[in-house]
A and B are shown apart, each in its own frame.
Chain A
Amino acid sequence: MKKDILICGVGGQGTVLASKIIAASAMDEGSAVHSAETIGMAQRGGSVTSHVRIGEAYAPLIPQGAADMILAFEPAEAVRNLGYLKKDGIVIVNRVPVKPVTESLQDTGYDGTEMIAYLQKKCSCIVIDAEKICAPFGSSRYFNIAILGVAVGSGRLGISKETVLAELEKRVPSKYVETNKAAFYAGVEVGSGKTL
Chain B
Amino acid sequence: MQEYVMGNGAIALGALAAGVNLVSGYPGTPSSEIVETISKYPHDGVHLEWSVNEKAAMEVAASAAYGGARTMVTMKQVGLNVAADPLMSLAYVGVKGGMVVVSADDPGPISSQTEQDTRRFADFARIPVFDPSSPEEAYEMIQDAFAYSEKYKTPVLFRPTTRVCHAYASIENPANNGPKAYDGFVKDSKKWVIFPRLSYMNHAMIEQRNVEIGKDFSTYKWNRVEGGNSRKAVITSGISYAYAKEYLKDHTDIKLIKLATAYPLPEDFLLQALEGVEELLCVEELSPYIEEQILKLAGKHALSIKVSGKLDGKVPASGENSSNLVADILSEFLGTEKLVRGYDGSDAPSLPMRPPVLCAGCPHRASFYAVKQAMKGKKAYFCGDIGCYTLGNAMPLDMVDTCLCMGAGITMAQGFHWIDGEGTCFGFVGDSTFFASGMTGVVNAVYNNADMILCVLDNSTTAMTGHQPHPGIGRNMMGQFVDKVDIAKVLEGIGVHKIITVNPLDLAASVAAVQECDKLPGVKTIIFKSPCIAISKPDGKCRISEQCINCKKCIREIGCPALITVDGNVTIDENLCTGCGLCSQICPVHAIGDDTQKGGAIS
Binding site for B on A (CB under 8 A): 10-12, 23-24, 27, 32-47, 57-67, 76, 79-80, 82-87, 89, 99-105, 107-108, 110, 114-115, 118, 122-123, 139-141
Contact = CB atoms under 8 A, between A and B. Distances in A.
Nearest to B324: A64
A60 B559 contact: no
B555 A27 contact: no
Interface stretch (B201-209, B303-311, B356-364): B356-364
Nearest to A43: B356
Contacts, number: 174
Nearest to B248: A58
Contacts of A33: 4, 168-170
Contacts of B561: 45, 100-101
B245 interface: yes
B113 to A, nearest CB: 11
Interface pairs A-B: 3 shortest CB-CB: A65-B342, A40-B111, A60-B167
A96 to B, nearest CB: 10
A103 B350 CA distance: 12
Interface string B430-472: 0000000000000000000000000000000000111000000
A105 B359 CA distance: 16
> Which of A40, A65, A140 has the most CB atoms of chain B within a 10 A radius of its CB?
A40
Nearest to A42: B356
A41 B356 contact: yes
Interface size grouping (class) on chain B:
35 or more
B395 interface: yes
A37 B243 contact: no
Given A45-B359, A58-B249, A82-B348, A23 B342 contact: no
B425 interface: no
B170 A32 contact: yes
Contacts of A110: 352
Contacts of A40: 29-30, 110-111, 464-465
B110 A58 contact: no
Contact of A61 (B322, B341, B563, B568): B322
B352 A59 contact: no
Chain A interface, >50% SS class: mixed
Contact of B168 (A36, A82, A102): A36
Nearest to A101: B559
A40 B111 CA distance: 6
B181 interface: no
Interface of B: 2, 4, 6, 29-30, 110-111, 134, 163, 166-170, 239, 242-243, 245-246, 249, 322-324, 327, 339-345, 348-349, 351-359, 388, 391, 394-396, 464-466, 552, 555-556, 559-561, 563-565, 568, 575-576
B217 to A, nearest CB: 23
B4 A84 contact: no
A118 B349 CA distance: 8
16 contacts: A12-B576, A33-B4, A34-B168, A42-B111, A58-B242, A59-B245, A60-B166, A60-B239, A63-B323, A85-B343, A99-B352, A100-B352, A104-B559, A104-B563, A107-B552, A107-B565
> Which of A59, A100, A139 has the most CB atoms of chain B within a 10 A radius of its CB?
A59
Given A41-B29, A41-B464, A104-B563, A47 B354 contact: yes
Contacts of B353: 100, 102
Nearest to B465: A40
Given A44-B356, A63-B339, A99-B564, A39 B351 contact: no
B166 A36 contact: yes
Contacts of A89: 342
Contacts of A11: 356
> Which of A63, A103, A122 has the most CB atoms of chain B within a 10 A radius of its CB?
A63
A114 B350 CA distance: 10
A23 to B, nearest CB: 7
A32 B136 CA distance: 12
A100 B552 CA distance: 15
Nearest to A110: B352
A131 to B, nearest CB: 10
Contacts of A39: 29-30, 111, 166, 466
A102 B395 contact: yes
Nearest to B136: A34
Given A65-B340, A65-B341, A107-B565, A100 B354 contact: yes
